[in-house]
Structure 1
Amino acid sequence: MRDILDDIEPWHREGRRFAVATVVRTWNSSPRPIGASMAVADTGEVIGSVSGGCVEGAVYEVAREVLESGVPQLVRYGVSDDNAYSVGLTCGGILELFVQLVDAEIFPDLAMVVEAVRERRPIAVATVIDGSESVGRRLVITPSATRDSLGSERLDQAVASDARGMLEHGTTGILHVGRQGERRSDQVSVFVVSLSPPPRMIVFGAIDFAAAVARIGKFLGYHVTVCDARPLFATKARFPEADDVVVAWPHHYLAETDVDERTVLCVLTHDPKFDVPLLELALRTPAGYVGAMGSRRTHGIRLAKLRENGLSEEELARLCSPIGLDLGARTPEETAVSIAAEIISAMWGGSGRPLSNTTEPIHREPLASHPPVIPAALTPK
């Protein structure tokens, strides 16, 4: 949903009616993950994607029906359906989508949601999608308050409590509760889209490789910061794609920066006086990925210094160095691709091997220790 917000906000502000189709459940090799959204305006204009082209035509027709009737629909497409091949979903996956009408009267708090996302404030939207007379009702949830209602105070309280936990970890999915929020019942399905701030990528070392890593980090949907102690190199002109360019000693900056399980730390400094104290801190944070550039010889020297400084073998095992997957990369851009590939593999538990040489599912659940980092620029949220 996140990536269509800027497009639907003008529609909402102008008082236009539109239908939003959102992927709420997937099975097997579905082409888009949970949270992917597509909007159809009353003029017929379409934005977003729910399947990369497989079922958009069929979803468009459902959206037009919802625009006409105002009644939400929960629809499913997959190879097990009679019309699977007619709509084009031949990859073996199954998608379930909730299609709902949106306008200024039905969803008055959409402007507040858009503002929160733009200001990087965490916010979630919970919608009843099945099992209740209140299908389509919404609850907007922040860490400290709620707006609107799902139909009852007890249901609101139960959903808000669980949704705040999802919001903290940036996860999106379905909650199953009783009609009054009972934990041991599952009559009601509530879809929660978590619009927490995008995950952070912090690139240490203002070198040419850092510029390429910053570009691919933005492409993957990260909020990118480049940090270097040298003001001559750490400039916005050299790193136009970065959200922030910070002039500071790397370990001082990291010590004052919030880091969570979705944070990616890329150490490209190539200088022991920078990277050893930096890695000593980085490997003791909850960051989902810590990588450091350098030769195998440099890596060995770094490990020895870090051991001298008291880091345990368990902490050292978290370090990805030399950084990146073995793609034979040489240029800064190729190296950035190899680093991005390793980050994605680390977050989702991939093997890094060619898919043609594997038998595991192509799409998999994230590692329990690494909440998923959904690429905002590639995957609608």
Structure 2
Amino acid sequence: MTDHAARKAYELLDAGKRIVVATVRDTEGSVPRHAGSFMVVSEEGDIWGSVGGGKFEAAAMKEAQELFESSVRNRVIYVTLRMAGKGALGMVCGGSAHIDLTLYDRSNAADLDLEEETITTAYLFGAGHVGAAIEPVVRSVGFRTVVVDDRPEFANASRFPDADRVVVAESYQQAFDDLDLDENSYIVICTRGHMEDLDVLRGAIHQPHAYLGLMGSRRKIAFLFGTLRNEGVSKELLDDVHTPIGLPIEAETPAELAISIVAELIQERARNLKSQSDKERTKKSQAAQDRVKNRKNQVASSAA
């Protein structure tokens, strides 16, 4: 996800390079990646995306290199996380999968149809010690990062050289004026104080998002929620806020808090993307059923 494998595949083909795309098919039992996961392999052995890491990935890499060296363009391998048997990788997890490998170059580039990875963006409100610890970690697991603070001495390219965007807000009350959030936005509020948190939270609850988390003590959260409830904010909106933020690992330092918070973001992203995928499959299935029904109706009308 970090390297946007689909985009890289098309870039390499446009540059006249050859690639192999390995795609997980027909999984059974416990496997590292779900069906549809794919990996792009270059002739130099560079990879983007993943079919599961470890021995799963090593097996796919070996087959990919063999495709580059042969006249064959496609092959399917069977791998299983068992100690013995066909396709066994000497592991005890027990799952198995077929991996489809196809070589592409300019002659068949038009046949490649990869879905771009869903872009998920982490909006970090607060560029202090915790925000600075979170940004590189959350970026390393594939999120775009947008850092927002009202202090230019904190929100700047020197402190966040690799962030996708650093925003110096005129005030936290106007923090969302120049942002474009969607259903794949993950909001983390970790500003320097109660009133700054309140300003951000007041705006965040009305923004589209996949996740909204707020760092703070129980007393602080009670104060913020109580203030918003008195302003007329519904309990349902506040129930959507993840607080205390992060997975419970007894984190204390900024670095530890970053791990806790990013772990929760990974968990929520997986749940959200699965939900989106399930909805899309249901939509496609319904569309297919409708097409069959329409064809039957047309045949019946012609017969009449």
* Smaller-chain TM-score bracket: 0.7 to 0.9
Cα shift readout 1:244-291 (whole Å, capped 9, x = no counterpart): 111112342324422222211011114343222321221223311111
> Equivalences for 1:89-168 in 2 at 5 Å?
90-107=92-109, 137-139=111-113
Partner of 1:15: 16
Q: Which runs of 5+ in 2 are unaligned?
A: 280-304
Structure 2 residue 37 is matched with structure 1 residue 35? yes
- State the identity %: 31
Give the secondary-structure state (helix, strand or coil) at the position aligned to 2:27: strand
Mapped to 2, the partners of 1:267 and 1:241 lie a distance apart of: 20
Find the aligned partners of 2:172 and 2:29 in 1 and give their Cα distance: 42
Distance in 1, matches of 2:125 and 2:231, equals 21
Question: Is contact 2:4-2:117 (8 Å) kept?
Answer: no
Summarize the alignment of residues 193-208 of structure 1 with structure 2, pairs less than 5 Å apart: 193-196=115-118, 198-208=119-129
Give ranges in structure 1 of 5+ residues lacking alignment.
Answer: 109-136, 140-191, 350-363, 372-381
Alignment-derived partner of residue 84 in structure 1? 87
State the distance in 2 between where 1:345 and 1:62 align.
32
Partner of residue 230 from structure 1, selected from 151, 174, 181: 151
Write out aligned runs for 1:173-252 (5 A).
Answer: 192-196=114-118, 198-248=119-169, 249-252=171-174
Q: RMSD of the alignment, in Å? A: 3.1
Letter in 1 for 2:206: R
Q: How far apart are the structure 2 equivalents of 1:10 and 1:16?
A: 9
Selected match of 1:292 from 205, 214, 225? 214
Match of 1:75 among 74, 77, 82: 77
Give how far 1:56 is off: 3.8
Larger radius of gyration: 2
Structure 2 SS opposite 1:227: strand
Q: Distance in 1 between matches of 2:181 and 2:125?
A: 14
Q: 1:89 to 1:46 in 2, by over 3 A?
A: farther
Contact kept, 8 Å, 2:173 with 2:199, in 1: the verdict is yes
| Structure 1 residue aligned with 2:54 | 53
Mapped to 1, the partners of 2:146 and 2:46 lie a distance apart of 33
Give me the whole-angstrom Cα distance separating, in 2, the residues matched to 1:50 and 1:247.
39
Cα distance change, pair 324–79 in 1 and its aligned pair in 2 (3 A): closer
User: Is 270-279 or 315-324 further displaced after alignment?
Assistant: 270-279
Q: What secondary structure is seen at the aligned counterpart in 2 of 1:202?
A: strand
The AA in structure 2 aligned to 1:96 is H
Amino acid at match of 1:366: K
Instruction: Give the alignment's TM-score, normalised by structure 2.
Output: 0.77
CA contact (8 A) 1:348 1:370 kept: no
Counterpart Cα distance in 2 of 1:244 and 1:14:
29
The count of aligned residue pairs is 273
Deviations 1:155-176 (A, max 9, x none): xxxxxxxxxxxxxxxxxxxxxx
Say yes or no: does 1:331 pair with 2:253: yes
Indicate yes or no: 2:235 matched with 1:313.
yes
Deviation at 1:242, TM superposition (A): 1.8
CA contact 2:6–2:115 (8 Å) conserved in 1: no
